[in-house]
Structure 1
Amino acid sequence: MPRVATPLTDSKIQSAKPREKDYKLSDGRGLHLRVRAGGTKDWIFRYQVPFSGTRKDMSFGIYPTVGLADAREKRKNAHKLLSKDIDPKSHKAEVKRTATQDKANSFTCITLDWLRVKSTKVTAKYAVQIEASLRNHVFPHIGKRPVKELTPSEVIEFLRPIEAKGSKETIKRLCQRINEVMDYAVNTGLIDINPLSKIHKAFLSPNPKHLPTIKPEELPQLMQSLSTASIKLVTRTLIEWQLHTMVRPSEAATAKWSEIDLDNQTWTIPADKMKKKNNGDHVVPLTPQTLALLDFIKPISGHREFIFPADRNPKTHTNTQTANMALKRMGYHKTLVAHGLRSLASTTLNERAFAPDVIEACLAHIDSNSVRRAYNRTDYLERRRKVMNWWSAHVEQAATGNMSLANTNKTLRLINN
């Protein structure tokens, strides 16, 4: 008959002195206190591995950090696992591995991985905006949660206060970005499905807001206002340049002389300046009117890096909001913004029945059809040149009777402000 161990007591444990060699004191049912020669005392659980029958030792921690009661509780839990033919030591390692994996697969960690990919497809400024919105509104609530455990109800719950403030656009963007992260988790094999794909349906849709612009028939009035406006020549040239080239305000403001190819009459905007930089460089055909604008401003900035230099520091480019502020001072507050010049061009060209695909290519909009998109980038340059030439001529016609800087008759002369 096996000998029954006398249960340990705290006083017996505390009075146990180190010897020349390590020795053990048994508490029964596989639990032992090991007293090391150096004086350290630790808990050891000895058990028989299910199925194999081999003996294995498992550490329960160091005394007194792990007290007698704690050690007995650990022994109790280990015997529960053994009763189910589960190896407690292997189980502990698996739990630790899962916890480590869950931490690595938290929403924050997956978002940062996704952002490394996303940042190659958008501008650096936009990537920063995306990360900031998630850090401010999402990370505090689900940042530490494993993506596999996220549920629609908990995400909708923390978004509700934002909706209550009337921030429908913010809700829309957050739902989109959360789902992009979750789709990334699916595509990288971390989860099987995206459980948050429909969370946007729990919120009211924002009312569509279009950037202020003017009607095509109001273009002559704009050209007259521009010709008499009390603005700097660089600012006026910038506005006319953006109007003729149909580019975005930031792309116009940051234009460099090195991007101009006078031999081929093109302006190549590098991909990293574009809204969708994964679509590659955007080549803008230069018209006689845009070439006239370059001739006009060359005495001012031809010796500098940027075509439209800043007033205070001409070594850098003018502010990307310069055109907007000038239009506001010209009386177009809430009726026209710089980006609205693109809408003006698009509306006019569509009304004149130019091919929609060519118009979209002029505006550097990305075609959702990848095959057609590749075709547009290779074949549409000359077709775009014809459209751009018509548009520039139309703008010049609208300026008849005014002092347009893009006048192709070369009668204008540079004057100082």
Structure 2
Amino acid sequence: MANVTTPLTNTEVKQSKPKDKEYNLADGGGLALRVKPIGSKLWLFNYTHPQTRKRANISLGVYPAVSLAAARKLAGEYRELLTQKIDPKSQRDASALAEQEAHSRTLKHVAEQWFDVKKTTVTPNYSEDIWRSLELHIFPKLGKKPIHNLTAPDAIHTLKPLAAKGSLETVKRLGQRLNEIMTYAVNTGQIAANPLAGIKSAFQAPEKNNLPALMPDELPELMRALTIGSIKITTRCLIEWQLHTMVRPSEAAGTCWNEIDFNKALWFIPAERMKKKRPHTVPLSQQAIALLETMRPISGHREHVFPADRNPKSHIHQQTANMALKRMGFGGRLVAHGMRSVASTTLNEKGFDADVIEAALAHVDSNEVRAAYNRAEYLQRRTKMMEWWSSHIDQAASGNMSLAAGTKTLRKVN
């Protein structure tokens, strides 16, 4: 007749005393309490490994932290695993490792993985802005939080102080970036779903304000201000260069000499410097070439056409033009990016083909086949348009000194 193990009672477990050698008190079904000479009591589950058929022990915890009832419950769960041919110790170790890995996947850790991909799709200046905003507003409160524990209330609570200050555009951008990070985590299998998908509904939408830009008939005012303004020649050349070429501030500030083909009068901007990560070719008018010739004695021996003052090996900051325009009295009326709007409005009013204008502004067509065709088809037409635009700027500068007009034909101020 088989031996029948009498289940332990709470009193027996509590009153068990240490002996010279450790011993076990069996509860049945593989569960036992091991009492050690020092007085500590440990729950053990003894079982036969489902694959190796060898005997094995697994700890269930220390008494009284783990009660008799809790130990029996764990032992029951492990017996259930054994009926499924699963080794409980291997299962527990795998679960613990998964939990440890989950807690090591903090928001900042996953954000770093996401950013490694994100920065390949945007300009260096924009990627720097993205990461700085996360370091400033998100990571101090949420950076160490495991991403699988991150909730919508967590994100909303973090963004509320910014919203209270009226920084709604910043809130919008941070919400978009958080959602991109969480979507990346979903797509890489680190979480099952994105809990932040609806956080934008918790905040007021920012008012949509167009970047300040002058009306076309105010262009002469800008040209006169450039003439009489107390600004460095490099800054003035930068502003005129951006005005003539219709590029974005970051693209203008980062102009490199090796991007210029003087024989073909073309400026080849590589994809990594463009907002949409596609190469852009700019036909250079005579006036644009004249600006380069003005800069050649200053920076022709360097990499960048418009070098920075403090570090000539780098290029001028993209905000330099904005600061100069503000000092010249255009604060709230014109920013550097707004000069593209001046060009676009003027060219549209003069009847130039809208598609040609869009190509000149490097606005990407969603149809890639058509976009490739347009780049080839429009280059000749864009060349003529850019020549007209530069001549129009010259006319607006009539009576003022224009650097783009060339050193031999500088107009004098009346």
TM-score, shorter chain, exceeding 0.5: yes
Alignment-mate amino acid for residue 79 of structure 1: A
Kindly tell me: are residues 181 and 370 of structure 1, through their superposed partners in 2, closer, same or farther at Cα, counting changes over 3 Å?
Answer: farther
> Matched residue pairs, number?
398
CA-to-aligned-CA distance 1:52-99 (integer Å, 9 cap, x gap): 9967533327xxxx6432455562331342575676435523431431
Q: Secondary structure at the match of 1:108?
A: helix
Moved more, 181-190 or 209-218: 181-190
| Correspondence list, 1:3-402, <5 A | 4=6, 7=12, 12-13=17-18, 15-17=19-21, 24-29=23-28, 30-33=31-34, 44-47=44-47, 56-60=55-59, 67-70=62-65, 72-73=67-68, 75-82=71-78, 88-103=88-103, 105-143=105-143, 147=147, 150-191=150-191, 193-276=193-276, 278-279=277-278, 281-311=279-309, 314-402=312-400
CA-to-aligned-CA distance 1:156-206 (integer Å, 9 cap, x gap): 344333322222112111111122122223433445554433321222110
**Residues of 1 paired with 2:125 and 2:407: CA distance?**
40
**Residues of 1 paired with 2:200 and 2:231: CA distance?**
45
Q: Is the 8 A contact 2:17 2:35 kept in 1?
A: no
Q: CA RMSD in A?
A: 3.5
Alignment-mate amino acid for residue 255 of structure 2: A
**Residues of 1 paired with 2:222 and 2:213: CA distance?**
11
**Residues of 2 paired with 1:311 and 1:150: CA distance?**
44
CA-to-aligned-CA distance 1:32-69 (integer Å, 9 cap, x gap): 53879xxx99763214679x9967533327xxxx6432
Q: Is the 8 A contact 2:214 2:342 kept in 1?
A: yes
Q: Is the 8 A contact 1:103 1:144 kept in 2?
A: no
Alignment-mate amino acid for residue 77 of structure 1: K
Q: Secondary structure at the match of 1:184?
A: helix
Kindly tell me: are residues 57 and 111 of structure 1, through their superposed partners in 2, closer, same or farther at Cα, counting changes over 3 Å?
Answer: same
Alignment-mate amino acid for residue 124 of structure 2: A
Kindly tell me: are residues 198 and 367 of structure 1, through their superposed partners in 2, closer, same or farther at Cα, counting changes over 3 Å?
Answer: farther
Alignment-mate amino acid for residue 366 of structure 2: S
Kindly tell me: are residues 123 and 351 of structure 1, through their superposed partners in 2, closer, same or farther at Cα, counting changes over 3 Å?
Answer: same
1:266 CA drift (Å): 1.1
Over the matched positions of the two proteins, sequence identity in percent amounts to 48
Which ranges of structure 1 fall in alignment gaps of 5 or more residues? 18-22
Alignment-mate amino acid for residue 31 of structure 1: A
1:146 CA drift (Å): 5.2
1:212 CA drift (Å): 2.0
**Residues of 2 paired with 1:283 and 1:10: CA distance?**
87
Alignment-mate amino acid for residue 372 of structure 2: A
Kindly tell me: are residues 90 and 34 of structure 1, through their superposed partners in 2, closer, same or farther at Cα, counting changes over 3 Å?
Answer: farther
* Matched residue, 1:20: none
1:221 CA drift (Å): 1.9
Alignment-mate amino acid for residue 166 of structure 1: G
Q: Is the 8 A contact 1:396 1:404 kept in 2?
A: yes
**Residues of 2 paired with 1:126 and 1:308: CA distance?**
19
Q: Secondary structure at the match of 1:303?
A: coil
Moved more, 171-180 or 23-32: 23-32
Q: Is the 8 A contact 1:5 1:26 kept in 2?
A: no
1:349 CA drift (Å): 1.8
Kindly tell me: are residues 308 and 152 of structure 1, through their superposed partners in 2, closer, same or farther at Cα, counting changes over 3 Å?
Answer: closer
Q: Is the 8 A contact 2:242 2:248 kept in 1?
A: yes
**Residues of 2 paired with 1:162 and 1:232: CA distance?**
37
Q: Secondary structure at the match of 1:284?
A: strand
Please report the TM-score for the alignment, with normalisation by the length of structure 2.
0.81
1:379 CA drift (Å): 3.7
Which ranges of structure 2 fall in alignment gaps of 5 or more residues? none
Q: Is the 8 A contact 1:175 1:199 kept in 2?
A: yes
CA-to-aligned-CA distance 1:288-342 (integer Å, 9 cap, x gap): 1111222233233333333223445544433433322332232222222222212
**Residues of 2 paired with 1:258 and 1:394: CA distance?**
28
Alignment-mate amino acid for residue 211 of structure 2: L
Q: Secondary structure at the match of 1:406?
A: helix
CA-to-aligned-CA distance 1:375-416 (integer Å, 9 cap, x gap): 344443333222222211111121222221122694349xxx
Kindly tell me: are residues 254 and 90 of structure 1, through their superposed partners in 2, closer, same or farther at Cα, counting changes over 3 Å?
Answer: closer
Q: Is the 8 A contact 2:33 2:41 kept in 1?
A: no
1:257 CA drift (Å): 1.8
CA-to-aligned-CA distance 1:254-284 (integer Å, 9 cap, x gap): 32222211111111223333333x32x3221
Q: Is the 8 A contact 1:8 1:27 kept in 2?
A: no
**Residues of 2 paired with 1:313 and 1:251: CA distance?**
18
